[in-house]
Amino acid sequence: MSVVIEARELSRWYGVVMGLNNVSFQVQPGLTGLVGPNGAGKSTLIQIITGQLQGSSGDLTVFGQRPWNNPALLGRIGYCPERESLPRDLQPLDWLRGLGMVSGLPTAAVRGRAEAMLQRVRLGREHWSKRMGQYSKGMRQRVKLAQALMHGPDLLVLDEPMNGLDPMGRQEISQILKELAAGGTTILISSHILAELESLCGNIIILNWGRILASGAQKEIRDDLKNWSEQLTIRCSDPRKLARHLFDAGVLLGFDLDPAEGLVHVRIENPEQFFPNWTRLLLEADIAVYEIRSQNRSLRRIFEKVTS
Amino acid sequence: MNSTGSTANAEVAGGGLRIEPGVIKAFRGLFRISFKSQFAVRRLPMVVLLAFLIPVLAWFTVGTGRQVPFFHWMVDVYLLLLLPLYCLSVCGALIRDEIQSDTLGFLTTRPLTRVRLFLIQFVCQIVLLELIALGSAVLLMVSGGLRAIPDLVALAPVFLVAQGLGVLAYGALSSLLGLLTQRYMVLGIVYGFVVEFGIGRIPTNINNLSVSRHLRTLLANNETILDLYRWSPEGTLFSMAILGAATAGFLVLGAVVFKFREYHASDDMQK
């Protein structure tokens, strides 16, 4: 499969602050999610991909070319920034038409194209005559997405595009992105809304402190997680006794007691070996168990695990 | 662009449109955005105020037929003080406003080199600025006409040429200052005091560094101005050439700065 974005030992400093630390990864066609807490380096990476910043060392290519000062390449990229800032005095059609012409769309077709994109992102026609300064957060997100789609990019880079959208809006935008990806557009999307990335993106890049902690297909990351320690929370009649018993059996990496709530949080050393013997161990402890909670293997869990 | 894809995607990803970026098309696109922003309803009162301020003040404060104070309004207050400040405020914000409001990324991610983007932005802004200045100068002349100020018609061509060249030079300088620092207003005012009011009035060749010194030379081609201010019209062509060269020089510097400097949304990078 062809590589759309490739970073090799890419680093970026802001003075003494490190924005990206020696990251290497590949983005394949399709939908890829970029996950990380604030300050992880997501926006820095996105700005390097879209030619707004340069790496301090290492290399990053998009479609085999470096993005900085490369207009031909930029013509193939659509970018939707994180902040909701838009020219507040302009109406969306005027802005989109202007940007469309800068992107090289035919003058005669640019108005129709702008209208089509506003319809595509489901911005109601009744809002088109308003100045964008009067727009809600969700409406601004839609216009931002429309401007990124104006010139029909091969790669769409979206920085937190779901911010401010209501659940229905998120679903609509997700659907648009899925259609675009199905049609051959590569999409890189960053978000804190992990549940949406989980349902939207086949591939994930997890970034924290400027480093890539995990990258690849979601399934691969989940499989990797099988080798990581599992955590269970158990509510029982004697948490101290249970913890001691399990610890003596040599199956725990560690535990935390919460006697007031009757809880013990246990970190299991080898889940593959632990769970077949789990009932026997509980019976041997000779205590009453009221509740067992297991952390699931959702993307949120993966994210919390690798960024903790 | 994408050549394959579903119907839905074809609609979004080009729909068979031919994408051909070009300077003229980019100019038209950016001019549309600049024009709509500059003359937005919210900003119109300020534009109108600036256009009418000096003509109205001059009309109120100068008596009928009193040529000298009216010319002071035109030259000292309007041309050599307020117009440079207006250029500083408008052209300094050319790129800086986009940085401050974090909308620069919408432009720098388009298929246009940064040098072209900067120059096209400048041309768009300067065309609008020249139009506003022309309107203001015409209103000033009308105001003088209503007060029966003599020799205004003879002054008009020289005044408008000086104003046109002055707006270009001050506009280019202001654009450069706006690229260098977010405190371009402060830097511009300091520059004005040091170079325009200071160095420009030193009676040696060093005063060639001052834009206003060359504007004075152009204005001195009018006999009334010559009598009133005792400026010398010698070297008019040289002054015009210097103003043109200064404009070009400031723009080249600005283009180089914009080409190589990274502008980041974070506060640290906006300094």
CB burial of B85-121 (b: ≥16 within 10 Å; e: otherwise) equals ebbbbbbbbbbbebbeebbbbbbbbbbbbbbbbbbbb
CA of B67 vs chain A CAs: smallest distance (Å): 42
Strand partners for A306: none
Q: What domain range includes position B46?
A: 20-262
CA of A218 vs chain B CAs: smallest distance (Å): 25
Instruction: Examine the pLDDT at A297 and tell me if it is beyond 60.
Output: no
Tell me the fold of A5-218: Rossmann fold (3.40.50)
A244 vs A274, higher pLDDT: A244
CA of A114 vs chain B CAs: smallest distance (Å): 10
**What is the distance between the terminal CA atoms of chain B, rounded to a whole angstrom?**
38
Token couple for A307: 């960024």
The residues near A241 (Cβ < 8 Å, ≥ 6 apart) are A285, A287
Overall domain count for chain B: 1
Residues of A in contact with B109 (CB under 8 A): 50-52, 74, 77, 79
CATH numeric code, A226-307? 3.30.70.100
Distance from C-alpha of B53 to C-alpha of B159, rounded to nearest angstrom: 18
Contact B184, B101 (CB under 8 A): no
pLDDT of residue A271: 73
A140 vs A218, higher pLDDT: A140
8 Å CB contact of A99 and B4: no
Q: Tell me whether A232 touches chain B (CB under 8 Å).
A: no
Give the range among A65-79, A244-258, A291-305, B104-118 with minimum mean pLDDT.
A291-305
8 Å CB contact of B101 and A184: no
Share of chain A above pLDDT 70, in %: 90
Q: Tell me whether A167 touches chain B (CB under 8 Å).
A: no
Distance from C-alpha of B36 to C-alpha of A96, rounded to nearest angstrom: 12
pLDDT of residue B96: 86
pLDDT of residue A194: 64
8 Å CB contact of A99 and B101: no
CA of B22 vs chain A CAs: smallest distance (Å): 6
Which residue in chain B has the smallest CA separation from A92?
Answer: B33
Q: Residue type at B86?
A: Y
What does residue A148 show for φ and ψ, rounded to 5 degrees? -70, -25
8 Å CB contact of B17 and A152: yes
Which residue in chain A has the smallest CA separation from B102?
Answer: A85
Distance from C-alpha of A60 to C-alpha of A45, rounded to nearest angstrom: 10
| Residues A176-186: tens digit of each pLDDT | 999 999 989 99
pLDDT of residue A280: 86
Distance from C-alpha of A103 to C-alpha of A150, rounded to nearest angstrom: 8
Distance from C-alpha of B19 to C-alpha of A103, rounded to nearest angstrom: 7
8 Å CB contact of A185 and B13: yes
How far is C-alpha A79 from the chain's CA centre?
16
Q: What share of chain B is helix, strand, coil (3-state, %, to 5)?
A: 75, 0, 25
Q: What's the complex ipTM?
A: 0.82
Distance from C-alpha of A190 to C-alpha of A205, rounded to nearest angstrom: 9
8 Å CB contact of A95 and B33: yes
Residues of B in contact with A176 (CB under 8 A): 12
Which residue in chain B has the smallest CA separation from A100?
Answer: B29
Distance from C-alpha of B79 to C-alpha of A225, rounded to nearest angstrom: 72
In A132-151, the residues whose Cβ lies within 8 Å of chain B are 147, 149, 151
Burial group, residue B9, by CB count within 10 angstroms (0-12, 13-18, 19+): buried
The residues near B6 (Cβ < 8 Å, ≥ 6 apart) are A179, A182, A183
- Of A83, A116, A185, Cβ closest to residue B9: A185
Per-residue pLDDT of chain B (271 residues; tens, 9 = 90+): 443 333 334 344 444 567 788 899 999 999 999 888 888 777 788 788 878 888 899 889 998 989 999 999 999 999 999 999 999 999 998 888 888 877 889 999 999 999 999 999 999 999 999 999 999 999 999 999 999 999 899 999 999 999 999 999 999 999 999 999 999 999 999 999 999 888 888 888 888 889 999 999 999 999 999 999 888 888 899 999 999 999 999 999 999 999 998 876 554 443 3
Distance from C-alpha of B151 to C-alpha of A59, rounded to nearest angstrom: 67
Strand partners for A267: A231, A254
The residues near B71 (Cβ < 8 Å, ≥ 6 apart) are B149, B155, B224, B225, B228
pLDDT of residue B141: 93
Q: Is B95 left (phi over 0), alpha (psi -120 to 50) or beta?
A: alpha
Distance from C-alpha of A175 to C-alpha of A52, rounded to nearest angstrom: 28
8 Å CB contact of B21 and A71: yes
pLDDT of residue B47: 80
B56 vs A224, higher pLDDT: B56
Q: Is residue B78 assigned to a domain? A: yes
- Of A14, A179, A182, Cβ closest to residue B268: A14
CA of B53 vs chain A CAs: smallest distance (Å): 24
What does residue B152 show for φ and ψ, rounded to 5 degrees? -65, -40
pLDDT of residue A169: 85
Domain boundaries, chain A: 5-218, 226-307
Of B86, B15, B207, the residue nearest A150 (C-alpha): B15
Give the range among A22-36, A242-256, B33-47 with minimum mean pLDDT.
B33-47
